[in-house]
Chains A and B, each alone.
Chain A
Amino acid sequence: MNILNKALSENRFVLTEYEAKKVLAEYGIPVSKEILVDSETALMDAVRNIGFPVVIKGCDPKFVHKSEKDLIRTDIRYEKEAIAAFHDIQARMTGVSGGVLVQEMIMGKRELVAGLIRDSQFGPSVMFGIGGIFTEIFNDVVFRIAPIDKSDALGMMEEIRGKRILEAVRGLEPVDREQLSNLLVRIGQIGMENEMIQEIDINPIIISKGRGIAVDAMIVLKSL
């Protein structure tokens, strides 16, 4: 894949969020709509294209955990706000090459995580579980060795302790398990077909109108 080879040729082993989501999108995984911008004019075009509310993020492979670096502004509803966020984030990114990412704001209360790790004994293994800020707190995740099929993926959804999050709880619609299982199967496929990928992390996957959408992602390549 071009994106992966380009990163390797530049001696980079962590893809930017923008690149990682391009990889996911190529495999049919739904990702939030987003545009990379480097100027105020481009920003305004992007905002008009995507439509408010938007999220504005710093996008550089050096920033693995963007929220810890204060590089995310969410729920931006006005042009003035967008411009302020753009300059503020740019100022915090001095000395790095990356641009600023304008993203549609995916609305949803439920956050899941999915990913992939290349296990030294068993090879690519798909992960699924509770996402967002609770990922590390609850450690409620399960794995399957890739390749996985739909029944494996459905099994993973049944196996997490917090599986009720997928149901029609508190007036929310039930999660579309077909769509989510498809997403997990595709992650396994990425691992099987791209030997140079060491880890994939999609966190959060936000459930919006029942469907899972990758809102943030990272991909780590093998550093041989």
Chain B
Amino acid sequence: MKETHELIAQLDAIFHPESVAIIGLPRGFKAGKLFLMALLDLKYAGRIYPVHPKAKEIDGLKAYQSIAEIPGTVDLAIILVPHHQTLPIVKACAAKGVKGAVLFTAGYKETGTEEGRKVEADLTRVAQSSGMRLFGPNCMGLYVPESGISFFPGLSKKSGPVGFISHSGSLANILGRVAPQKGIYFSSAVSLGNECDISSADMLAYLGNDPNTGVIGAYLESIRNGPYFLEALKKASEKKPVILWKVGLNPEGQKAASSHTGALASQSHIWEAVIRQTGAVPVKGFDFLTDALMGFSMLGDGIGDRIAILSGPGGLAVAAAEACGDEGLKLAKLSDKTRLELSGFVPQTGTSLSNPVDVGLTASLEMEIYTRAARALAADPGVDAVFVIGVGMDRKTNELYTESMIQAHRELGKPFVIINIPGFDTDLAQTFCRAGIPFFETTERAMAVYAMVRRYQVWRRKQRKN
């Protein structure tokens, strides 16, 4: 436990640095420049020290020839020099008292060479003996909007509940860029690369304890220390949802085993065991990952399983009801009062007043029908969540639909889930997400994510009781 406290304190200091040195910052417009642009873009308020062997100044910032020359302390160092120059620089950073260093360059263990492996082992030793923590090598480092630090320009300045761990720098970056469109915002995101020091398990311990993080997401390729990872994952999951997209689950690990057990123990079987024993939430693929992050960010605690479906298109209403059952959710039984109320404004023909409620085609012209029905359903005490599948005839009606649904959600306080009908305006879909209402591409994805959030919540309640 003492070690965990120390780790958390170390990471906290690194995630909120008062000064950042960028070692090997190029003068011209090269890839390394992005790290400076990222800090400027997020309006980082601390001191930035470029380190360059020759330059006196880079982009208006005074440059230093070495880390030792920098006056005052350096909390975070971003190291961009080629891999064969890294070791002395990391040592100099440790001597300077740097708290954490991000090693961007590739060319280490992942190359499979003896030299790469050796340099990486040397780096680990420096970190362990000095107390300076290392990220990477072969990683993008940190994005902490609250601190104004970022690994790429163009990421949101707004903070949110998601803490993200990635073994791929580019994936972290792509997610960071797409996220705001889905209403997903980060407390922090970190790209870990080869994990010569800080590992995904370390990050699970940190984010699990971080009061600003409500949901943890991770893209993982391989696990370094299984038992430590298992323990960190279990502890984090008991506190908050941990959504894991693990790749590399093919039966490659199944060597010629002599026993049945050996032959049957595929990587996916073992991973399934990890999931079951920790309560983590598995997802597959980028779309499912973002959907899950959106669902877990927006759906509140204690969501129920009685679903009301409100749809214009009849076919999608039936499909939604089927998906609801497939995911182990229930169709809410509407009260007589609700049905009476619906009958007051829903046209009589081509519609259905029992759940799923089919409001028919007229609703696309009179958006009022959608919103009144949604309000009636949300007000029914037998309904835990309202799933709406709607679209207007044009831009104007879609705007009205969006605004009035957001308003109804705010007033009634029950979870709303909106499902896309092809042709709906993309920016309005984003408006829903920004207002904290999850918007899904299909009814199947919507039901799957809602059920996943609910299953996790039920599991956690049970854990806490025991």
A contacts, CB < 8 Å to B: 14, 64, 113, 115-117, 119-123, 125, 127, 129, 135-136, 139, 141-145, 152, 155, 159, 198-201, 203, 218, 220
Contacts and interface: CB of A to CB of B under 8 A. Distances in A.
B270 A135 contact: no
The 5 A-B residue pairs with the shortest CB-CB distance, nearest first, are: A115-B261, A201-B259, A122-B226, A143-B273, A121-B226
Contact of A203 (B230, B260, B274): B260
A122 B275 CA distance: 12
B227 interface: yes
18 contacts: A113-B261, A119-B226, A119-B265, A121-B270, A122-B274, A123-B226, A125-B265, A127-B261, A129-B264, A141-B269, A142-B269, A143-B265, A144-B276, A145-B277, A155-B276, A159-B276, A200-B261, A201-B260
Contacts, number: 84
Contacts of A116: 261
A135 B227 CA distance: 28
B230 A199 contact: no
Given A122-B227, A123-B226, A127-B265, A144 B273 contact: yes
B274 to A, nearest CB: 6
Question: Which of B222, B253, B259, B261 gathers the greatest number of chain A CB atoms within 10 Å?
Answer: B261
B53 interface: no
A159 to B, nearest CB: 7
A201 B258 CA distance: 9
Interface residues of B, number: 22
Contacts of B9: none
Contacts of A144: 273, 276-277
Interface string B254-273: 00011111111100011011
B223 interface: yes
Given A201-B259, A203-B260, A117 B265 contact: yes
B230 A145 contact: yes
B272 A142 contact: yes
Contacts of B276: 142, 144, 155, 159
Given A122-B270, A143-B273, A144-B277, A117 B253 contact: no
Nearest to A131: B260
A115 B259 contact: yes
A145 B259 contact: no
A119 B255 CA distance: 11
A116 B270 CA distance: 11
A145 B261 contact: no
Contacts of A159: 276
Nearest to B257: A199
Nearest to B227: A123
A136 B261 CA distance: 10
A69 B169 CA distance: 54
B216 to A, nearest CB: 20
Nearest to B253: A120
Given A144-B276, A145-B277, A199 B270 contact: no
B36 to A, nearest CB: 38
B260 A220 contact: no
B226 to A, nearest CB: 4
Nearest to A117: B265
A72 B259 CA distance: 18
Given A121-B223, A145-B230, A220-B262, 7 more contacts: A116-B261, A136-B260, A142-B269, A143-B265, A145-B226, A198-B262, A220-B258
Contacts of B258: 14, 64, 199, 218, 220
Given A122-B274, A144-B277, A199 B261 contact: yes
Contacts of B227: 122-123
Contacts of B263: 136
A135 B257 contact: no
Contact of B230 (A122, A135, A136): A122
Given A123-B227, A135-B264, A143 B259 contact: no
A121 B223 CA distance: 7
Contacts of A155: 276
B214 to A, nearest CB: 27
